[in-house]
Amino acid sequence: MRFSLLVAGVACLCNVALAQSVDQGKQFLYYHRYKSANDVFDKILASNPNNIDAIYWKGQTLLDMKDSVGAQDVYSKALQTNGNAPLLLAGMGGVELRFGKTADAKQRFETAISLSKGKDINVLNAVADNNIDAPAGDAQYAIEKLTQATQVKHFNNAETYVLMGDAYRKLVDGGNAVQSYQKALTLDPKDAEAKYKIGKIYETQNNPEFYLPAYTDAIQLDPNYAPAYYALYTHYFNHGDVDKATDYLNKYIAVADASPQNEYDRTALLFLQKKYDDAIAASKDAIAKQGDKADPHYYLLAAYSYDAKGDSVDAKDYLTQYFAKQKPADVIAMDYKFMGKIQSEFPSDSAASIASYQKAIEMDTVLANKLQIIKDAQANAKAKGQKAAYAYWMGVGYPFIKAPTENDLYYWGYANYSAGLFKTADSIFCGIYESKFPNEFFGYYWCMKSKVAEDDSVGSQGLAVDAYIRLAQVCTTLDSTAHAAGSPDSVKYKKYIIDSYSQLAGYYNNIKKDRDNALLYLHKILEIDPNNADVQKFIKILEDAAKRQKARAEAAQKKETRTK
């Protein structure tokens, strides 16, 4: 019995040692140091190929390194001899999700939970984790299993709440995500990951007042937490702060695994320092030395540098190469936005430019970012004098405005009018503007202008007739209202009323040959401007012509009577 106990004790000590090694590997994963984690798990498995924990986390590390095939091989091989290991079943389910086998994955997850009787927090966390990370995973299912984990007796696992926060993030539920991360911090006040991920939530909301302190707090909780340094580096890089970006990049590199990405980031600082020729030279050198293994971002960096130098031809060349070499899954919204900007430099690429900007808008899930892309597209088109493109982007942006004002409609409509897109301007001013602001002058005025522009030079189609009538009516109402209120501007719109009636009189006289309607509108002018000599003259001309016509008609009738 003593011998057995002694053996048991030795075995226990060995398990503790191995567990500590697995924990070390998991700690590297926590820090996003995937190469170091992989090395740890490889060493454990070299001495004990059947260590289930090490196998599971080895597979998860490969998934983090974007090697789904490698993870599949690890789990498939291990399941041949450990077919009922819940963790391995959960890991294999994660692989199957990544290959689109959702039904098979669900079966793996349910089997893993069943074999562990639904009471193993690590298994429930693993099932949730794989559903969160895999694009085809079910975040709601993950929350269900994590909630189940919190109900296990003596639950005290901060990781469960971190994963729950991740699941809510996947569902774009920032409020519940933050609450979950805060619960994790309640269980483990030193959990830098939870604090960092709270920062990520606020960053998606474009709220630096909250996400920057969160990243700083994460570092204070754990000075080795590399992702927070990188997040701060990225922020200051994007905001053009060379000193802070450099400082945080150096701090990140000091606690991160060595990688080609680090070298690329160092090179990118040359762009931030406005050393564009150096950035181009360094990018070309990396491409020449590394060939097909070169990070595609070197092509992107060269494109940005050429663009900063005003060389749109070379910028387009390198940007085109970037899109050809980059994995589609790694192309981000800002890449398409940049492509749209570069393509706008070439008249033959105007349609392609719009398509690229649209792709950027579709890809970005943050409303504030979508709006910024639209604003940038508008500003770019306006700066280049591309009136049609500017009008188009004004139209794209309009539906995003929560409470459109008269100015919003005016600028959109006028942009189309200026671009010669009169039918679109007509639909905006005559349709939307007049409907939303029925008592406002500008909608009616620019509706009329758009209709006039749509017609020929003499207005032979009469497209603006109704617009002139409505304009005169609303101007009359506005002046009458002002007069009743004793306003000094009671004749503010008088000239527009006169012009409208004048145009209508001209149309009916010259185009329709309808003297009666022409006289009707001329007399309307006299009602508000009785001393208008020109109108009096035209009325006399038309009335005299009417008398002559009547006299001729009567004479002709008498002659016809005598003949009979």
Measured in degrees and rounded to the nearest 5, phi and psi for residue 117 equal 60, 20
Residue 528 in any domain: the answer is: yes
Indicate left, alpha or beta for 377 from its phi (over 0: left) and psi (-120 to 50: alpha): alpha
237 part of a folded domain:
yes
Q: Are 181 and 197 in contact (CB under 8 A)?
A: yes
For 229-234, what is the mean pLDDT? 98
Sign of CA dihedral 250, 27, 238, 283: positive
With b for 16 or more beta-carbon neighbours within 10 A and e for fewer, the 234-257 pattern comes to bbbbeeeeeeebbebbebbbebbb
**Residue 332 or residue 3, greater confidence:** 332
Residue 345 has pLDDT above 80, yes or no: yes
Is there a domain that residue 212 lies in? Answer: yes
- 177 closest CA partner among 195, 157, 155: 195
In a domain, 76, yes or no: no
DSSP per residue, 397-460: HGGG-SS--HHHHHHHHHHHHHTT-HHHHHIIIIIIIHHH-TT-HHHHHHHHHHHHHHS-TT-T
Tens digits of residue pLDDT in 37-83: 999 999 999 999 999 999 999 999 999 999 999 999 999 999 999 99
- Residue % of the chain over a pLDDT of 90: 88
Q: What is the pLDDT of residues 108-126, one digit of tens each?
A: 999 999 999 999 999 999 9
* Residue 234 within any structural domain of the chain: yes
Say which residue the tokens 């269980």 belong to.
187
Structure tokens at 286: 């990396």
CA distance 443 to 434: 5
Query: How far is it, in rounded angstroms, from Cα 177 to Cα 198?
Result: 8
Main-chain phi, psi angles of 239, to 5 degrees: -100, 10
Burial class (CB in 10 A: 0-12, 13-18, 19+), 427: middle
Can you give the pLDDT at residue 233?
98
When pLDDT is cut at 50, 70 and 90, the band that residue 487 belongs to is confident
Q: Please give the average per-residue pLDDT across 344-354, as a whole number.
A: 93
Residue 225: give the domain boundaries: 190-258
The answer to whether residue 177 is domain-embedded is no
Q: Which CATH number fits the domain that encloses residue 237?
A: 1.25.40.10
The phi, psi pair for 332, rounded to 5°, reads -110, 170
Is residue 499 a part of any domain in this protein?
yes
Which of 239, 258, 277 is the C-terminal boundary of a domain? 258
pLDDT at 15 over 70: no
**Dist CA 297 CA 275 (whole Å):** 17
| Residue 2: predicted pLDDT | 28
pTM of this prediction exceeds 0.75: yes
Residue 277 has pLDDT above 60, yes or no: yes
**Cα–Cα separations (whole angstroms), residue 355 to 271, 326, 341, 347, 352:** 27, 19, 11, 14, 5
Answer whether residue 564 shows pLDDT above 70: no
CB atoms under 10 Å from CB of 410, counted, come to 18
Give CA separation, 363 vs 324, 339, 367, 397, in Å: 18, 14, 11, 16
Q: What is the pLDDT of residues 420-442, one digit of tens each?
A: 999 999 999 999 999 999 999 99
Of 258, 282, 311, the position where a domain reaches its end is 258
Q: Which residues of 476-506 are buried (b: 16+ CB within 10 A; e: fewer)?
A: bebbeebeeeeeeebeebeebbbbbbbbbbb
Q: Residue 205: what pLDDT?
A: 86
pLDDT, mean of residues 393-404 = 93
Cα 171–chain centre separation: 17
In sequence order, the 6+-apart residues with CB closer than 8 A to the CB of 337 are 356, 357, 360, 373, 376, 377
Q: How many CA atoms lie within 13 A of 237 on its CB side?
A: 18
pLDDT at position 310 over 70? yes
DSSP-derived 3-state class of residue 68? helix
Q: Kindly tell me if the per-residue pLDDT of 278 is higher than 60.
A: yes
Contact residues for 68 (Cβ-Cβ < 8 A; gap 6+):
62, 95, 98, 99
Please count the residues of the chain. Answer: 564
**Residues 244, 233: Cα–Cα separation, whole Å:** 7
- CATH code for position 504: 1.25.40
Query: Does a structural domain hold residue 185?
Result: no
- CA dist 295 and 341 (Å) reads 23
Mean pLDDT of 169-192: 97
Considering only the C-alpha atoms of the chain, give the largest distance between any 2 of them, rounded to a whole number of Å. 151
Output phi, psi for 485, to 5 deg.
-90, 0
Q: Residue 79 has what pLDDT?
A: 96
- Using the 8-state DSSP alphabet, how is residue 291 labeled? G
Rg of the chain in Å (alpha carbons):
37
Q: What is residue 562's predicted lDDT score, i.e. its pLDDT? A: 72
161 neighbors 184 (Cβ within 8 angstroms): yes
Record the tokens describing residue 492, joined without a space. Answer: 């503010």
List of residues 6+ apart from 354 with CB closer than 8 A: 340, 389, 392
Q: What is the pLDDT of residue 242?
A: 97
How many domains would you assign to the chain? 2
CB 116 within 8 A of CB 127: no
| Of 1-10, 155-164, 384-393, 508-517, minimum mean pLDDT range | 1-10
